[in-house]
Amino acid sequence: MTVRTDAASRSADTDGSVLGYFATPTAETRTRIAVVSDLHLSTSGVGTPRVFHRTGERLRRVVTSLNRSELDAVVFNGDLVQNGTRAEHDAFGRIVADLDPPLVAVPGNHDLIDGDGAGTPLTLPEFQRRYAPAPFPYRVQIGGVDLIGLNSNASTRETLTDSYTGRLSRSTLEWLDETLDAVDAPLVAVHHTLETVRRRYRNERKQLPVENGGCPAFETADELAGVLATTGDALVVTGHLHVPTVVRSGGITEFTLPPLGPYPCGYTVLDVGRQGTVASFHSAATHARQAEALGLGRENDRVLLAAARMSNLPLVADRRSPRPDA
């Protein structure tokens, strides 16, 4: 499936703070993709490190910002909402209805969940109809980039999960193995983080004088890494952890995205050209709102680690991949 836009034919400078330079993906036609993760939109929540009472405001600001950019598509990389209810997804849909670029998404652990009965939960088939170009897993061409979207939420078409633990089905892993044989240097979107990023998080949080927050597991992370390693050059974008991170291991580059809801309250643009990809950060909050988010997360290990990462950019500089050319 192909997302058809004309943004790639226009010239646009990379703005925002550079998060990293990557050797892949590449594209003969310059392609700009916004990747947004971990909004946790709530229709009733207040406070917490996820700053629930600002999530609607954040999303509206992002839509305005994205519409002013020259983008081929927008990818939401999971945890669009907090409690997986139809009411939250309806609220999300009303706001993004004003979005000009095409939108695709993959679900996070909060998007499809058999919750506490406080609201009617969205089902996997409904999520696919609202946000996906095809049933999961899917492959879609955005400009010159092959995007592969994976569902790491453990829900099925028949049953909603009651756990935040991530899992890919056996059929998804088999499909991915076959699909990667036909794709050069894809962009892979999946919500849950791989073990190398999780290991770095566990090591770094030991240095903090706050309670460790932890992060729900990804049961099939090793199996996914084994399949991806066969490509030798896949860029995998993940969310879930809320700590911007880049780790290379076993032929895989994993880029865990900055979250939109918690600090640092923004999104990422991937600017892809013939020589590689530049990732840049774009804030969706004023300085005062960022300070509020940092204050609400001052005792949260992941917020503190995110602040440390954002104070020392870029996260990675691959000298093989200079700025994409127009």
Q: Render each residue's pLDDT in the chain as its tens digit; 326 residues.
A: 555 444 433 333 446 899 999 999 999 999 999 999 999 999 988 989 999 999 999 999 999 999 999 999 999 999 999 999 999 999 999 999 999 999 999 999 999 988 765 679 999 999 999 999 999 999 999 999 999 999 999 888 888 888 899 999 999 999 999 999 999 889 999 999 999 999 999 999 999 988 767 788 899 999 999 999 988 778 999 999 999 999 998 889 999 999 999 999 999 999 999 999 999 999 999 999 999 999 999 999 999 999 999 999 999 866 444 344 43
Element (H, E) at 309: helix 301-310
Q: What is the largest CA-CA distance in the chain?
A: 51
* Whole-angstrom Cα Rg for the chain: 18
Distance CA 125, CA 137 (A): 13
Strand order in the sheet with 2-3: 2-3, 138-142, 145-149, 187-189, 234-238, 252-256, 245-249
DSSP string, 247-295: EEETTEEEEEPPPSSSTT-EEEEEEEETTEEEEEEEE-S-HHHHHHHHH
Coil, helix or strand at residue 162: coil
Q: Please name each of the domains of the chain with its CATH number.
A: 16-317 (3.60.21.10)
Token readout for 4 is 């058809």
Distance CA 206, CA 190 (A): 27
Q: Amino acid identity of 191?
A: H
